Every structure is written in structure tokens, then in C-alpha cells.
């Protein structure tokens, strides 16, 4: 699979890394424990089996629209098959429109059954993951958010990239590529 992700500006990324460190220091699941050199705070927009030429064409257009301002709205927890602790982002009109463009690009040239319903416009919850585990309820303790620094009020989404889950590599998606 290939993800399509947005990276944060340096100030926002440092705040997320600090949150990762605090969770790890407290012995909680944290993205800081993932030692891959490709592991960075990011906002996942979609995932698809491959980045075909038509998809790449559309994603280059999306990359040309960056940077995009974003606002953090606070801590959020998800219980999917995994427990996730994250900082939510406001799904304002600009971010929703950018996400829809990415979704339409990957959906236009991918088998429908290969796409995650969690990334569908209307269902997608923009967030930056702080910690994830298969242990249900791992972040249910009401004191967990107190361990975290406050998220930055605003951020800039500055770089579009794709992570190849099979090869373990990332590719920056640039305008005109």
C-alpha cells in the first residue's frame, strides 16, 4: 500500500515529537518507539495500492497548493481495531477540499475495495497520531491528556509525501512530478 500524507511545519513537528517523548517517558504507547527513519509526525489523507500515473498527476496539483494553514483542536481518542491517541485538526473548508482532491485522485484509479472507508470524505477525522497500540482502552485513563504539552494553536501543512508500506520508503510528492 501507498499512503498519501501531509507533513507539518518545523514548530508543529517539534511539539508533536515532545508529546511522543512524554508518552514514552510515562511508559505509554508512543510513536516515539517506532525507530524507522521514515517515522515523522504526519496527517494521513488516504492510502491506495499504488500511485499510478493518473494519481500522481492529480497529487502533483495538490502539492502545488501547499502550504496550507491548519488548526489543532485538542486531544482525541479512537478505538478501531487499535487504540489511538491523537491531536485532532480542524476539518475546515480548505483542509476538507484538499482531502477531497486527494481522495478523488486515489479513488479514480484504485479498486474500491482497496480503499479505507476511514479516509472517505465525511468520515475522515484529520489527526496527528501520538500513540497507537493493539491494547484496547490503552488511553482511557482520564489523566493521559495531562501528560501532554498543549498542541500548537496553528500549524502549516507543508509537504505532501507517500509512504510505501512494503518497501518501507517515503517519496516526497512535488508539483509537476
- pLDDT digit string (tens) for 41-65? 999 999 999 999 999 999 999 999 9
Residue, of 177 and 175, whose pLDDT is higher: 175
φ, ψ of residue 86 in degrees (nearest 5): -150, 165
* Residue 134 burial class via C-beta count within 10 angstroms: exposed 0-12, middle 13-18, buried 19 and up: exposed
DSSP letters spanning 142-163: TTHHHHSPPPPSEEEEEEEEEE
Average pLDDT, the chain: 94
Task: Write the pLDDT tens digit of every residue in 95-105.
Answer: 999 999 999 99
* pLDDT at residue 81, rounded to an integer: 79
Give yes or no for residue 148 having a pLDDT over 70: yes
Q: How many percent of the chain have pLDDT more than 90? A: 84
Is pLDDT of 177 > 70? no
* Residues 78, 30 contacting (CB under 8 angstroms): no
**Per-residue pLDDT, 35:** 82
pLDDT at residue 115, as a whole number: 94
Amino acid at each position: 500500500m501507498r499512503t498519501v500524507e501531509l507533513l507539518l511545519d518545523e514548530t508543529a513537528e517539534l511539539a508533536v515529537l515532545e508529546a511522543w517523548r512524554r508518552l514514552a517517558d510515562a511508559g505509554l504507547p508512543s510513536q516515539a518507539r517506532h525507530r524507522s527513519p521514515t517515522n515523522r509526525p504526519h496527517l494521513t489523507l488516504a492510502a491506495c495500492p499504488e500511485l499510478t500515473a493518473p494519481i500522481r498527476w492529480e497529487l502533483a496539483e495538490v502539492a502545488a497548493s501547499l502550504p496550507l494553514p491548519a488548526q489543532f483542536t485538542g486531544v482525541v481518542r479512537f478505538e478501531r481495531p487499535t487504540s489511538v491517541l491523537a491531536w485532532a485538526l480542524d476539518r475546515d473548508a480548505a483542509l476538507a477540499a484538499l482531502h477531497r482532491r486527494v481522495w478523488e485522485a486515489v479513488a479514480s484509479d484504485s479498486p474500491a475495495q482497496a480503499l479505507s472507508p476511514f479516509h472517505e470524505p465525511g468520515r475522515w477525522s484529520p489527526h496527528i497520531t501520538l500513540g497507537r497500540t493493539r491494547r484496547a482502552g490503552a488511553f482511557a485513563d482520564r489523566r493521559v491528556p495531562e501528560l501532554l504539552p498543549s498542541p500548537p494553536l496553528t500549524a502549516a501543512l507543508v509537504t505532501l509525501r507517500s509512504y510505501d508500506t512494503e518497501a518501507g520508503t517515503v517519496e516526497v510528492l512535488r508539483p509537476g512530478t
